[in-house]
Amino acid sequence: MALRITGSGNLGSAPELRTVEVNGEDRKVASMRVFFDHSVPDGNGGFVDKGGCWLTVSVWDNRAEHVARVLRKGMRVRVEGTLLERPWEKDGEAMTSQEVNARSVTLELARLESVTLRPKASPGQSAAAEPEHTDPQSSFDDTGAGAF
């Protein structure tokens, strides 16, 4: 049975991008571990931690490549997708694991302090070739044209 899930949590690992064969076709998949926390309002403007759980999140195709390029361990993300149960066997004993097949993974910007994304250097290109910005506001674009 598959259930729809929407939740927020922190990445416990950077996404791992790999290519897998599905029905004779090569497809990209990014897998990552996310801790989905469960906090509830305490009535005084704060929150009380009620625990949470770790789930593996998988993202497919073009979105997998974007997720692997942008997300890093520790970032706060919002995940929307389908919760799947996967049966498996260990030492003859039936086991079940849960995984989220994500339709959408986005950064939780309310908790984001800063993000610095630099293009990967081409072979033979030195780090000195990257432009330096001394004033962070000088590169600010409020039109959204530079957004990822």
Pairing between β-strand 93-107 and β-strand 47-60 as defined by DSSP bridges: parallel
Write out pLDDT tens, residues 69-116: 999 999 999 999 999 998 889 999 999 889 999 999 998 876 656 666
Q: Which residues pair with 113 in a beta bridge?
A: none
Identify the burial level of 117 via C-beta atoms within 10 angstroms of its C-beta, where 0-12 means exposed, 13-18 middle and 19 or more buried: exposed
Report whether pLDDT(36) > 50.
Answer: yes
**Residue that wins the pLDDT comparison between 147 and 8:** 8
Report whether pLDDT(137) > 80.
Answer: no
> Which pLDDT belongs to residue 130?
47
Percent residues over pLDDT 70 in the chain: 72
Report whether pLDDT(45) > 50.
Answer: yes
> Which pLDDT belongs to residue 124?
66
The length of the chain in residues reads: 148
Contact 8, 78 (CB under 8 A): yes
Give 47's pLDDT tier (boundaries 50, 70, 90): confident
